[in-house]
């Protein structure tokens, strides 16, 4: 046997060491690949809902013609020093609220609030989406409050109820809420900044807490000087008129 060739050949121990090191390198590589794969799946799980939300179609929606209103004070209308104060708690997804808004509220605002006889305050009471993923009640309230800071709450309020379709089915998805603001001619940079930051979350929660304190269990619930009108029912204009006239007369 050639002695030099024997000396140059790797020893059995060297071969085993190199095989062991190669195996360790492969194991580390597999671990790294596995961790990267898990990270990519995790990122995808987070990103997919965001991408899906961003791509949610706006679809067709009803446009309104904004009307001039008298004595508007943010989300209130009327004389803040009036002896009669009306507070209405509503969820924008509530079909009964839509009926109240169109059939009763419009008349109350014209006859009593815009003439300064009463002070009429809208309060957010989003609850219909409590068990839903989309949070359309909360986001509609969020959007409406962002319209407040541009002096356009009542226009946005009307736009929302004009486009109510069903509960938690996408009528008030984020893209539509933004499109409503754009259709009203709001400053979209200001609106989007406000909307994305959920700027008025604390104020909305304050309304919700106040409603719970006043034992609001459904919407719409209307109070005149702290007393509920037609509890558990949607107040008609005739019922509102009777209560308001008595309150204004001091009875």
pLDDT of 18: 74
Residues of the chain with pLDDT under 50: 5, 41-54
User: How confident is the model over 161-171, as pLDDT tens digits?
Assistant: 999 989 999 99
Domain boundaries, the chain: 10-54, 72-248
Query: Which stretches of the chain are DSSP H helices?
Result: 3-8, 12-54, 95-100, 106-108, 136-148, 153-162, 174-183, 188-197, 201-213, 237-248
pLDDT of 6: 52
pLDDT of 3: 52
CATH of 72-248, one of 3.40.30.10, 3.40.50.2300, 3.30.479.30, 3.20.20.150: 3.40.30.10
């Amino acid at each position: 046997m050639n002695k030099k060739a024997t000396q140059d050949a790797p020893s059995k121990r060297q071969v085993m060491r190199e095989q062991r090191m190669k195996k360790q390198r492969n194991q580390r590589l597999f671990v790294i690949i596995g961790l990267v794969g898990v990270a990519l799946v995790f990122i995808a799980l987070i990103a997919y809902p965001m991408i899906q939300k961003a791509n949610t179609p706006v679809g067709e929606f009803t446009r309104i013609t904004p009307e001039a209103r008298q004595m508007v004070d943010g989300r209130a209308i009327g004389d803040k020093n009036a002896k009669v104060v009306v507070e209405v708690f509503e969820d924008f997804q509530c079909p009964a609220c839509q009926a109240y808004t169109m059939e009763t509220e419009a008349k109350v605002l014209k006859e009593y609030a815009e003439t300064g006889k009463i002070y009429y305050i809208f309060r957010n009471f989003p609850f219909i989406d409590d068990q839903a993923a989309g949070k359309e009640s909360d986001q509609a309230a969020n959007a409406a409050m962002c319209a407040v800071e541009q002096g356009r709450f009542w226009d946005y309020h009307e736009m929302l109820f004009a486009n109510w379709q069903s509960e938690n089915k996408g009528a008030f998805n984020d893209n539509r809420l933004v499109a409503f603001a754009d259709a009203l001619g709001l400053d979209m940079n200001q609106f989007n900044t406000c909307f994305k930051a959920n700027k008025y979350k604390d104020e909305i929660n304050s309304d919700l807490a106040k409603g719970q304190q006043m034992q609001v269990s459904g919407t719409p619930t209307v109070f005149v000087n702290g007393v509920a009108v037609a509890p558990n029912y949607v107040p008609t204009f005739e019922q509102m008129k009777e209560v308001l006239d008595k309150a204004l007369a001091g009875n």
